Chains A and B, each alone.
Chain A
Amino acid sequence: MPEPVLDAVVVGAGPAGAAAALALARAGRSVVMVERGPFPGSKNVYGGVIYARILDEVVPSWWEEVPAERWVVRRSTMVVDGDRSLAIDYRTPTWGEAPYNGMTAIRAEFDRWLASKATDAGARLVTSTVATGLLRDERGAICGVRTDRPDGDLRARVVVACDGVNSFLAKEAGIHPKADAAHHTLGVKEVRSLDPDRIDERFGVPRDHGVDIEILGCTRGIPGGGFLYTNRDTVSIGVVVSLTGLAAAGVRPEELVADVREHPSVAPLLAGSELVEYAAHLIPEGGYDTMPELVTDGMVVAGDAAAMTLAAGIWLEGVNFAIGSGLAAGRAVDAALRADDTSAAGLARYRRELESSFVLADHKRFRKAPSLVLSDRVQQRYPGLVCDLVEGLFTVNNPEPKPGGASFALSVARRNGVRLRELAADAWRAARIFG
């Protein structure tokens, strides 16, 4: 007897996969999520904040049940040069009230929670199972996945590939390059235990509220940056660096984390903390211009597998894009099943829906941001330039008078190897990208 064919198999039970499975299950479709880890989130690492308003489409008043660590009410951007730093620190109590803005979370808890929404709606979750390859029908269209279980073929009318940054399914389908170091970054993170009272005091927030600090100029000239954010009784600290830059520099990743941890502006915040988990994960940071085809005959791709992390300098987001793309994928697959056309043409509505939502609109708008943010001047020269400017402004050298405006600025720029022409060009570029 031939085994029954599912409407859809979703590979990966992270935020994209759980959202896709949820949308499909709600539409009454038979759907199985295949997760290679022992539980959803067990293979996942992120770098700071989940901006969760997209969850309005999942559960009303989601904030009453989501496993948030702290609601982020302080967003700080720090520029570091040597042992100096300049921080722009924004705080607002508004972000600490429903429906909130961003939260810190533990992915093992968050991803499990989101996947439970899909299973509650009728999706099946199969853990500890790797989708090892694609099944194709006689016309070459994808019609399911092979798994590493005995007799583990799962036949489905559509495969939803939410198998993460290394997406072997997208590689096998020919829509991902086999290896693309130039458009990926490596995130390395330490989670450090710290008494919640100390976190509240040091970061100046009440118990449920937290802080996210992004740091530029702390990665020894390797394109990237550092981060620090507060959980309930831990703080997470780490760096995100370009893979090609890391390979060329020959520095070990944990050394870069140590640089951030021991920086005089950071170390006092962490005093007495202890390492409780070390982690590393790749991030697809190429942006819109490096995104793969999102559909092929019998398959759609969402989340990190579709390079949907927004790494646009001052904006660093990913989980929201994974959820948004997963929901859209689930809806598009349901529509394609209804129309009985699961070819690439039948699934094309997925891309159209993403283009009109934040998922591709934000990516398209900031498509040139990664190259500016990771450029040599932004990474290596501007941190020193801004620190020199601020130091010059606020160092009182009496009986010397204060340094003069334009000539002072010029000399600081020169000292940091920046030409005014370049500064103007970058300012114009930034205005066009972010404006």
Chain B
Amino acid sequence: MPGSIACGRCGASLRLAATTIGIHPPRAGALTKQWRRWVPLRNRYFYAVRDLFRKPLLDVSAFFLRGVDLRELSSAVIVRMIVPGWAQIYRGQARRGQLFLFPWLVLLFLSVLCLGSTASGWCFGFLISLHAMSIVDLFARFEGVERGRRLVVCFLVLALVSMPYILVVTQSARVISVRQFLADAEPFSSGDVVLYRPRAYLNSGPQIGDVVIYRNRPYRTGGVNGLYVYDGEWVNRIVAAGGSHVVWKNSQLTVDGQPAEHLPLNASRLPAAMEVLVPADCFCILPTTIPNPGAPLDKQSSEALSIVDRTSILGKVIVRNYPPHRWWWLN
């Protein structure tokens, strides 16, 4: 019939001549074909497994999502659940979406800003709760579904959404680690948090001038009030490499007779004079940030604690990020 867009007999499109149709098929590149030959991800076994699990999965989802208009729960909505409020904005509830999105962004910023502190933990907890609330809110909009089923679906989706969080936390821990100071050690105070890169020295060795986190060899010394043991992780600057001769005299630090380019973080705590010959494969890190419970470190203790071997250096410190008002880039 005139005006029809398809053939009444076979259904073929009658608009072909007038419409713009691409007639060049998609092509696979040589690399793609090679890849498919070597790694046949989609082969008959893949489809056999898919067919095996398809029906049970469909049955389960049909049971839980009975009554849900699946057009509303499209893949576009599910993907957008990854950011709280995004799915609501996508579904046209912009105001509601913003109510979730903006607090979530603020909490995310605060938790990153104070990373490693208790405050960051609180922020992160609130952040996850807010995310859960946004998902529950989304499902609460699906009318006609029993409350129990709605809850189960919420938990299932929440479990899916929590995957990126777990991934981010586990992966970021490999890149950036956190240390919190438990005692005052000028210029750091109890409660300060520093971030450091544990993998900074995987490919190259530590450099003179780097502020690093290191663990000293346990050192015992007898004081007036008893026996002191210096053992722990400290943060300070490398002042000299192995084989150097380091001298601190008249408030001047020299390395191999030349004035040192880099001073330790709290040079005022050094004894009046000291001298260190750094063995090979070791670094000189002067112990000016080690807390001293009794008397100040004497010359002998300072010299002994200044030598740190390569394996004792745990990573390169980036920043003191907590508390925010004491923010300090250390490298």
Our verdict on whether A and B bind, yes or no, reads no
Residues of chain A having any CB pair with chain B under 8 Å: none
